[in-house]
Amino acid sequence: MIAIVGTGKVGVATAIHLAVKGLDDLVLIDIVEGLPQGEALDLTHMCTTLDVDVDIIGSNDYKDMTGSDLVLISAGFIRTADMSRLDLLHKNTEVVKTISKAIAEHAPKSNVIMITNPLDVMTYVAYKVTGFERNRVFGFSGLLDVARYKSLIAKELGVAASTVYTTIVGEHGDSMVLLPRFTLVGGMPLTSLLSPEKIAKIIERTKRMGSEIIRLKKWSASHAVGAGAASMAEAVKKDAKAIMPVSTYLDGEYGTSDVCITVPSVLGKNGVEKIIELPLNEEEKAALRRSVNVVKEAIAQVRL
């Protein structure tokens, strides 16, 4: 069974993609009376329409995640256009602490995917509070940032986004480190296809994309988040050994420790089964160090 804690727009978008994939039965948990139950009914009828046979229930009680082998956390306060992801730090820390304790009690053998912002710090909080092995607690964000980056590259070059391969390291935020040297378009390096100036513009717009979406739709992104989180869940449930950018706890990798940041990782039934260390150049290493420091400064403000 897969549990989703938080049935706001992101949680429901995630549930839709998980249900359509038919990976497992779902339990939706939220503190708002009636909300998860109503969403569960609506999603059940969606599945019936699509001839997908999964059982979906809604609950206001954490004990109903008992038996889940995968828990996705999307609960928390949302970001408004004038807020950074780190502005959410203190509010969402308390939310994630409560949920993490419940997971440790009711789903002690589960893998945990964090979606709540500020993503990297919340992943760190969940890792510390659950007491789980580090491979079992990891965060979604990299696929979202990569999707935004790829879509802009594809539009600029007039090619299909599916022909673009790339990854990302660092914070899910303004200090994220996009990697043109490790970006391929149909097997060709991006750096041979676009000028440094155009690449820089694409990178800057990628970093601003979250705020741009909030400004336009008056709400934070949800559709792409749900699709990406479900893709991570699928890699775990199917033991896919898929390489994805994942926020995970580092213990010496990339020359840093005691922090959760996004790095390319192998996802399978045991969660983060391997961290891939890219051969970064000095400029990329310096950018990553700056990003790590941003996250570590935020972690230092957290009371566990």
Task: Give the integer Cα–Cα distance in Å for 262 and 23.
Answer: 25
Q: Which of 45, 90, 106, 172 is catalytic?
A: 172
Determine phi and psi for 112, rounding to 5 degrees. -125, 125
The DSSP code sequence of the chain is -EEEE--SHHHHHHHHHHHHHT-S-EEEE-SSTTHHHHHHHHHHHHHHHTT----EEEES-GGGGTT-SEEEE--SPPPPTT--GGGGHHHHHHHHHHHHHHHHHH-TT-EEEE-SSSHHHHHHHHHHHH---GGGEEE--HHHHHHHHHHHHHHHHTS-GGGEE--EEB-SSTT-EE-GGG-EETTEEGGGTS-HHHHHHHHHHHHHHHHHHHHHHSS---HHHHHHHHHHHHHHHTT--EEEEEEEEEESGGG-EEEEEEEEEEEETTEEEEE------HHHHHHHHHHHHHHHHHHTT---
Q: Can you read off the two tokens belonging to residue 259?
A: 């922090």
The yes-or-no answer on residue 106 being catalytic is no
| Residues recognised as catalytic | 172
